[in-house]
Structure formats: C-alpha cells, structure tokens
Amino acid sequence: MLLNSIIKIQRENIFPVEKFMKTIFCVTLSGNKLVNFSTIQDLIKVAPDEIMLIDMNAIRKGRPNFSFYQKISRFFTLHVLSLIDRIDDLVDTLIVGSSSVVISPRVNEKKLRDMLEITANIIMPYTSLPSSRFYSDHGGEYFLTNVLIPFKFKLAYYYGPGDPGEKYVKLVEFPLGPFDLALGG
C-alpha cells in the first residue's frame, strides 16, 4: 500500500495533472434571437449544460425577455446577465428558470439589501463603485469581473485573460467590456 502511494506520488510529479479552469459558454440574446446561433437546437448541439445568457434588450432598454429565459432554461443551467435594477425583474427572472442573475452595479444600497434578502443568487459586476464593496460586506458571494477581486467572495465569473484561480469560472465568448458593465443597464 505504501509502495503504491509512493508510485502514485512519483507519477503525479512526472506527469502532473493539469487543472483546467471551469468554463461557461456565453450566449447573446438580441430581441428574440440568439446572436451566435440560429436556433436553440444549434446551441444544444455545441454548448455544455450551463450557459450565461447576455440579454442585450434588458441591458440597453430595461426589458428582460422572460419568455425566452423560460424556454432556454429547460435545456441549460442558466445564468442571466441583464443588469436589472428592479426587484420584480430579479424575482421574475429567477421564477422563469434562471439559476442566477447579474444585476446592475448601480443598484442603491437599500435595494441591494432587499435583493440579498430575497436570494443569494445575485451576481454583481465588480467595479470601483461602492456597491461592489457593500455587496460583499452584506453577504453577496458572486461577482462578474475581468480582474482579481480584492475582498471576500464565493465565486467569480471571469471574462479577463488567463486563469486567476480556483474561485473563478471562465466565461467563453463574453461580448461585453468593463465599460458596458459599469453603465449598469
């Protein structure tokens, strides 16, 4: 038994097992159409079981597409980036099948506290705005970022270069930049 353990350790040192960062594929929704795919069936063929849906109408016009969220959530674990700032939109997004929701970084402290009382399944875009620190200090656990987070968090959805570590999930094909996120819907 000891010999097997030694051989295993030696093999691991000779042939190290590379750790790959977990990834989630991003899918952009504009109106009622997927930007990077013709149909949901095309997406099902290539995407794994978890996606980040970026709803451009919700981001630009404040109109989340709840019916599409419900339709696509039958096939995937769904995270919705909508940058919403209304509690009713947060609740509706979760009710129709999203596992988590990326909210606006410009949500005021009272509303953010109320949202955190409703659910822990909120993702906050990490910015230099005080809301990021407030969110973390009041139990928020999930961030969307392209840089390392300097304070307590459970998991960060990462769209920056490289592999920042085990508490980060890499977003593949992320279409937005930090400026877009800072605008906050």
Could you count the other beta carbons within 10 Å of the beta carbon of residue 82? 28
Q: What are phi and psi of 180, to 5 degrees?
A: -60, -40
The pLDDT, as a whole number, for residue 36 is 85
Q: pLDDT tens-digit profile of 101-160?
A: 999 999 999 999 999 999 999 999 998 778 899 999 999 999 999 999 998 999 999 998
DSSP of 90-105, one letter per residue? HHHHHHTTEEEEEEPT
The pLDDT, as a whole number, for residue 5 is 39
What is the fold, at CATH topology level, of the domain defined by 23-183?
Answer: TIM Barrel (3.20.20)
Residue 107: which residues within 8 A CB-CB, separation 6 or more?
A: 85, 115, 131, 184
Residue 4 has pLDDT above 80, yes or no: no
The pLDDT, as a whole number, for residue 13 is 40
Q: Which residues of 42-57 are buried (b: 16+ CB within 10 A; e: fewer)?
A: ebeeebeeebbbbbbb
Q: Is the Cβ–Cβ distance between 24 and 172 less than 8 Å?
A: yes
The pLDDT, as a whole number, for residue 172 is 92
Q: What is the Cα–Cα distance from 120 to 100, expressed in whole angstroms?
A: 8
- Taken as a whole, the chain contains a residue count of 185
Please report which confidence band the pLDDT of residue 180 belongs to, taking 50, 70 and 90 as the band edges: low
